[in-house]
Amino acid sequence: MYPLQETLLSIIIVIIVYFIFEWITRDRKIRIINKIPGPIRVPILGTIYKPLLFPREELFKRAKVDIREYGPILKTWLGSTPVVHLFEPKDIELILNNSVQITKSWLYDTARPWLGDGLLTSTGQKWFTHRKLITPTFHFTILENFMEIFVEKSKLLVGNLQNKANQEVFDLYPYITHCTLDIICETAMGVEINAMNNPKNEYVKNVSDITKATFDRLMKPWLKSDFIYYNTNQGKRYKKYLSNLHGFTTKVIKGRKEKLITKSKTDQSNESTSSEPDVIGGKVRKAFLDLLLESSINLTDMELREEVDTFMFEGHDTTTAGTCWSLFLLGNHPDIQEEVFREITTVFEESNDGETLTINDLGKLKMLERCVKEALRLFPSVPVIGRKLTTDVKLENYLLPADCTINLEIFITHHDKNIYPDPEKFDPDRFLPENIKNRHPYAYIPFSAGPRNCIGQKFAMFEEKTILAYILKHYKVTAIESQETVKPMMELILRPKNGLLVKLEPRKS
């Protein structure tokens, strides 16, 4: 046999063996997953025909019906790809409280062009290394410095809402969004974008546009191919958003690196009298990016950009949603809002100047914190977490095979009547210490749990409580929609379809 023939035969044998292995592996996976209950699967579409039959605002409602019908475990099909849905706390714990099962599912792939392999999307050694590196940047003392920014932007928001405090109905959602964007830009990158005063800012617009485009692509499997997607008009616009956002972050990184290189200890002391935006009260504000640049582990410019972009993405949309759902619920329960108002008023009166909250003051807002937690139970900002199993996982009654996609249905868990009696009721007392102590630790996971829990959950809680405290101190909020009429929409986060429609009434001084 000639050498070329031998080579070709070897290649053919390798290909045949590969496909036989793939067939055996897939056949095993499918046989195991087929034992799990679920809706009827049709050829080609799987069970994705349902999203094609209902408007987007109805999808979340329909998904809840399916999950409750087939639970406590359910399988669906995205074409020929099976997805297993879990919502029992004991099953969720087996996945989340596991240092091996940390790989995110393919559902996150649509965010990779923007976020790369940042903390949200990376896995393996890179994730472990970066998680260890970034964790100290969320230390209490660092968050205490961020508190100044939370307060500053919250005061600006309250001022901007004065013209709306006339009993007219308006959408508060974009106001909160621009406030959280201003906060995240200063805390993450150390730059001011002034989104509240300039909502048409290009960076602000691009963040909004790319978020919508990312979810839209996720809901259209035929756009999964980069070749197809980037040859559509939507894909071409996406590339433009991507270029603008990456260009902005890259420019900021370059500027902060140059500043760090040229800055000496003497320069730092002289900067105490500087009028730069990252200096206040004689103290230098250090952004998340600065802390990464000063760390002992060197990151490439690409890795820096990935982590900063990830912090930008995760740090504004989720806190906006959490803050708005809290206001929505308090606006539907004036009696609870008044109780929160009295607590806020007392804490402000005991603060240093009656106007500026400290991080220690936030710790005194117990009732407000319970309201935020209950809002995150009813409307978790991230209602679903996706994982890809790297090994088999044995549940009590089922086996989940390796390479299987798992959806952890946080929203359904948070609404389980066996865990939370009268689960649709807004009841902040569910989070009193005596009511928490006997609850399964994985029955409430708005910030995920286990080794891959949300690294910024304290940041988010401090930010949300600050914004809420300042709004509720100055305004009585009345929600226009009720819990029965509001339509939660599952995009990249859980948001109300019509925004946050409210009326504001100024509080008497």
In angstroms, the CA 189 to CA 183 distance is 10
The residue with tokens 């995110």 is 104
Q: How confident is the model at residue 78 (pLDDT cuts 50, 70, 90)?
A: confident
Q: Which residue blocks in 263-300 are alpha helix, DSSP H?
A: 265-270, 288-293
Closest CA to 387 of 442, 448, 440: 448
pLDDT per residue as tens digits for the range 414-425: 999 999 999 999
pLDDT per residue as tens digits for the range 367-412: 999 999 999 999 999 999 999 999 999 999 999 999 999 999 999 9
Q: 3-state class of 82 per DSSP?
A: strand
Average pLDDT over every residue of 494-507: 94
Q: What pLDDT is stored for residue 281 in this prediction?
A: 39
52 to 214, 314, 424, 486: CA distances (angstroms): 18, 29, 28, 22
Average pLDDT over every residue of 85-114: 92
- CB 106 within 8 Å of CB 224: no
pLDDT per residue as tens digits for the range 8-59: 666 676 566 545 544 555 577 888 888 998 888 877 777 776 666 666 667 6
DSSP code, position 223? G
Q: How confident is the model at residue 462 (pLDDT cuts 50, 70, 90)?
A: very high
Structural domains of the chain, ranges and CATH numbers in brackets: 87-506 (1.10.630.10)
Written as one string, the DSSP assignment of 450-493 is GGGS-TTHHHHHHHHHHHHHHHHHHEEEEESS-TTT--EEESSS
Average pLDDT over every residue of 272-297: 63
Cβ burial of 291 (10 Å; 0-12, 13-18, 19+) is: middle
- CB 147 within 8 Å of CB 358: yes
Average pLDDT of the chain to the nearest whole number:
87
HSE-up of residue 366 (Cα within 13 Å, Cβ side): 6
In angstroms, the CA 234 to CA 13 distance is 42
For 297-306, 316-325, 340-349, which range has the lowest pLDDT when averaged over its residues? 297-306
Hey, how many other C-beta atoms are within 10 angstroms of the C-beta on 318?
25
In angstroms, the CA 448 to CA 50 distance is 28
- pLDDT at residue 273 is higher than 50: no
- CB 472 within 8 Å of CB 341: yes
